[in-house]
Every structure is written in C-alpha cells, then in structure tokens.
Structure 1
Amino acid sequence: MKPTDILNDKTFCNKLRQDFLRDGYILFRNFLQQDEIELVNTKIQEFIKTRVSDMPAKEVYYEDIDNKDTLKQLQKLFAYDPFFFDMMFGSRFEKLASIVLDDNVEGKNMQYFNKPSKIGKPTPPHQDGYYFMLTPNEAVTMWMPLEPVDEENGCVRYVKGSHRYGIRSHGRTGTLGFSQGIMDFGCPNDVANEVFFPTQPGDLLVHHSLTIHRADGNTSERTRKALGFIYYAEKAKEDKAAHEAYAQNLAKELAEDKKI
C-alpha cells in the first residue's frame, strides 16, 4: 500500500502516533517511491544549478566558502521553487506531521543537507526545540535521504525517549548550521539509549522537537544528501522576537567569521 493510501488508515496512523509518543521518532520506509525520489533528485540538481546564486547568503552554507563544490545546506527551498512548495504544503509530509503531532500544523522550513565526501563534519548532539523557541515545544523535523546513508557517510542517531525530559543545556559548537549543541552529552543514559538507522532514498525519519539527535561525519568517498522538513503544531506559540534576534545575531557572527 502506498503512503498516500496508508495515511488514511486509522489503525496504522494510531500506531504511528503511539510509536512517536513512546520513542520520540518514527522511521517510515519507502515514504517516497523510486520514481518520486528520482524526480526529487533531478529537481534538487536543477535548483542548485539555477537558483542558489540568487539566494541570500544567510540561507546558503558551504563547508568551505571558497569552494562551491562543498555546498552543505540550503534553507527555505519552498520559497524559491513551486515544486518544493508543493512538497511542503498540502502534501503527505504535512499530513504525516499532523498525524504524529495530533494537531493542525504550520510548515516552517524545508532544507537541503549534504555532507561532502571526506570533509562533511559531524552534526553535534542537539534538540531542534532549543532553536525553535516554542511554548509548548510541539514540532517535528523530518529527514529524508536522497541517497544511501550509513555509518560511513553520516547516519542520524537518536536518543530513544529523550523527548520526555525537556530541554538540555546547550552551548556554542562552532559547527556551521548547528550553532548550538548539548554540552554534557554522553552520560550513561545517552549512550544506552542511542539508536541509528541505515536508510535508503525515500525513507523518512520523523522526530519530535525535543528528541536528542546527532549525526556522524562523512568519512566515505560518497556524498550524503538529504531533505529536511520542519512543521510546528498549531498549539505551539513561537517567541518570534527572540527567534528573529537569534537569527540576526547568528547571521552577523557568521558573516564576521567569513563563513557565509
């Protein structure tokens, strides 16, 4: 059964919601079919060739700003291309977000990620909710690989059940795109409950905004490309002034450090 059909199955959706509540994440295999993921990859390649040069510097990150082949991250794809707008809004991604959050949702960001071969840095352990500044902190991040991902090229790792214990203390990391990380990560509970999933193109990982997660660096000869989607629950209220101030200060610091 295709995801477009199975997301209308109440029994299946209830199980997704319960698994999400228990673990803080779900893995939905083959959320996109092969022909769909091939189209997405084609659209991403076209976007990088034709649209990136017109985007604001604060929405385009490179591992090495002087080497355009080291593209690392793009923000708000839906704002620049109708194909990605349709993926973000009124889509099965949006529907899945509303199922696991048990609420109407608001799409906030759609990102492209890559860890270039050999130089793709680890993603520090963090909670997305630290950046979101929501009350209550009810949101999801979805992560979909565009090519095979494993331990060598940077798989995502979750601390199972960590979404139930609130926000941990974060501090500056120096990692472009992930400026804040959990400073005391590595306690016995973190280690004992950490899980990871090798994934194939079109698989979809979905995690709660409070779920602790990280990703390995890329030590392989392959790239590690993926899309990310962020949805806030309707009941979650954003401290927009604080969020905007943080974003402005971060952009200023990155510009001063010549990272963007």
Structure 2
Amino acid sequence: MNEMVNGLTPLDEAQVAFFEENGYLLLRNACSGDLIDIYNQHMYNLAKNDIPNQPDSPEKATFSFRVFNPHLKDSFSMQMMKLPLIRGGLAQLMGDEGVGVQSMFFFKEPGSKGQAAHQDYEYIHHEPNTMIATSLAMEQIDEENGCLYVIPGSHKLGPLPHGKVKNLLEHADWTTETEGVDLSQEIPVFMEKGDILFFHCLLVHSSTRNKTKDRFRRSYVCHYIRHDSMVTKREDLKKKIPLY
C-alpha cells in the first residue's frame, strides 16, 4: 500500500469484512454537522446562479436536478471529495490508493423521482474493476424522502444486464434498470446528516421518489477507482483526481 496512506486506517477488520461480504458499509457521524451546513449553503449558492428567481433559502429552492462533477469547477467540492476518512477508507477497501473520477451533488427536492435498481459499473466501465462510491448525507435520509435501497451481497453476482425502467411513477425514465436479480431482496439504508455510505460498483441499489412536501434529500456522491485502474468508455471521466 502507498506509504502516504499507511496512517489513514479509519476502518477496523470487522468493517472491512462487512464490506467484502455485503458490498456496502455505512459509517455514522463521519463528517461534522457544521461542515455539512456550510457545504449545503455553498452548493445552493452555486446552483442558484444557473436558475433565475430562486429564493434566498436552500430549504425553499426548486432544484430537482443534480450538479454533475462539481469537483472540476469548485475547490470546496474538490476538498469534500478528498476527505481524509474517505481516502483512508478507500485505501483499506481497495488495497491501495484510490483516485476520484466523478462527483454528483443531488438536491432531490420534494416530489423528485428516484433511480431504478442498477449497478454503477453499467455507467462507468473501467478495468480492472475496483470502483467504489461514497454517498455523504447532507441531512436525514429515510424512506419518505427517497433513501437508497441495496441488495446485500449482490456485488458478487458480477455485471448484470440492464433494460428499460419499469416503474415510472417512482423512477426517472432517463436511466436503466438491472435485470436478472430479485429486487424483493432490497433493504433501505437510513442515514443521518454526516453519515457516509461506501458501496461497491456492482452492488445493486436504487432510490425512490421523494414523497415529502417539504424535505429535500441532498447528498454528495463521489466515485473512485484504484489508482492503477482506468475508465474505458467515458472520455469525460478519464481524469484521475489524487486524494492527497
């Protein structure tokens, strides 16, 4: 392992073993509430510049979209991608230093649809297969405002075929849906502000519609590959971001 990450070992053996068996790992209270609040406001200020007539409060905004790859144009987002706990955790789970390749800030306003069950590998092909994503909760996330659902252990199935989305009431139509897996095995992942979820690129996961009238489901999702891996089909994601 790279000497620079030898001192960053936030995960114990049981947590590493849980990830290897289940394909995901939830770390509670991984990021301070103060930092989350500042970053939330920062991302709102960035986003509202692209949409006119927005109110002066993130809680009253009308953002239903995601901000794609903010780390490439915003130094705050770049540093959030490089949080020491994330860097150290990735090194433990990957066996070597990770590098960032993609980031997305999700606003998911009330009423917004979720994403059908899928594997991230379907959208980001890379070799060798080492990708892990992190999702940093910007606030409480539960079934009402559209939390993630995962199928524990599904990362062991390998890449699965994806087809058309079936439930358009819950899921956006611009995505695809995993085929050949029992979706009744999905379980919800409840998160509090500041929690971080690590999940394997082959883990089958989804999200549902935000059913609330006044709660967002904001999260910062980043994708990482091991430093010796390479994105193969996405020219826009071939730039590797060192985490040190």
TM-score normalised by L of structure 2: 0.80
- Quickly say closer, same or farther: Cα 1:125–1:165, change in 2 above 3 A: same
Partner of 2:4: none
* Partner AA of 1:17 in structure 2: V
User: What percentage of residue pairs aligned between the two structures are identical?
Assistant: 23
2:204 alignment partner, one of 187, 212, 215: 212
Contact 2:116 2:172 in 1 (8 A): no
* Separation in structure 2 between the aligned mates of residue 112 and residue 91 of structure 1, nearest angstrom: 19
Q: Please, what TM-score do these two structures have when normalized by structure 1? A: 0.75
Amino acid at match of 1:31: A
Residue 168 (structure 2) pairs with residue 168 (structure 1): no
C-alpha separation in 2, matches of 1:177 and 1:107: 27
Separation in 1, partners of 2:193, 2:236: 36
1:24 maps to which residue? 23
Residue 14 (structure 1) aligned with residue 13 (structure 2): yes
SS of match in other structure, 1:43: helix
Q: Deviations over 1:158-210 (max 9, x none)?
A: 1000011101111244865962221344x2xx423x22222111111110000
Match of 2:109 in 1: 116
1:180 aligns with 2:171: no
Question: C-alpha separation between the residues in 2 aligned to 1:127 and 1:165?
Answer: 11
Aligned to 2:40: 41
TM superposition shift of 1:13: 3.4
Q: One-letter code of the match for 2:179? A: M
- 2:131 corresponds in structure 1 to 139
Are the equivalent residues in 2 in contact too, given 1:124–1:178 (CA < 8 A)? no
Higher helix share: 1
Matched with 2:118 is: 126
Match in the other structure for 2:3: none
Instruction: Answer yes or no: is the 8 Å Cα contact 2:64–2:107 preserved in 1.
Output: yes
Could you tell me whether the CA contact under 8 Å between 1:115 and 1:218 is conserved in 2?
yes
- Whether contact under 8 Å (1:162, 1:212) holds in the other structure is yes
The change in CA–CA distance for 1:178 and 1:18 in structure 2 (over 3 A counts) is farther
8 Å Cα contact 2:113/2:172 also seen in 1:
no
* Structure 2: gaps (5+ residues): 1-6, 52-60, 238-244
Compared with structure 1, are the counterparts of its residues 153 and 13 closer, same or farther at alpha carbon in structure 2 (3 Å cutoff)? Answer: same
Q: Which has the higher strand share?
A: 1
Structure 2 residue 226 is the aligned partner of structure 1 residue 233: yes
Consecutive unaligned residues in structure 1, runs of 5 or more:
1-6, 54-67, 247-260
Identify which of 233, 240, 243 aligns with 2:234: 243
Gap change, CA 1:146 and 1:25, over 3 Å in 2: same
What amino acid sits opposite 1:130 in the alignment?
A: E
User: After superposition, what is the alpha-carbon deviation per residue over 1:219-241, rounded to whole angstroms, capped at 9, x for unaligned?
Assistant: 111221111011011232321xx
Change (3 A) 1:227 1:155: same
Give the letter aligned to residue 181 of structure 1: E
1:79 paired with 2:72, answer: yes
For residues 72-108 of structure 1, give each alpha carbon's deviation from its aligned partner in whole angstroms, at most 9, with x where no partner exists: 1111111111111122236432222222212211101
Amino acid at match of 2:107: N
Residues 87 and 93 in structure 1, CA contact (< 8 A), matched pair in contact too: no
C-alpha displacement of 1:9? 5.0
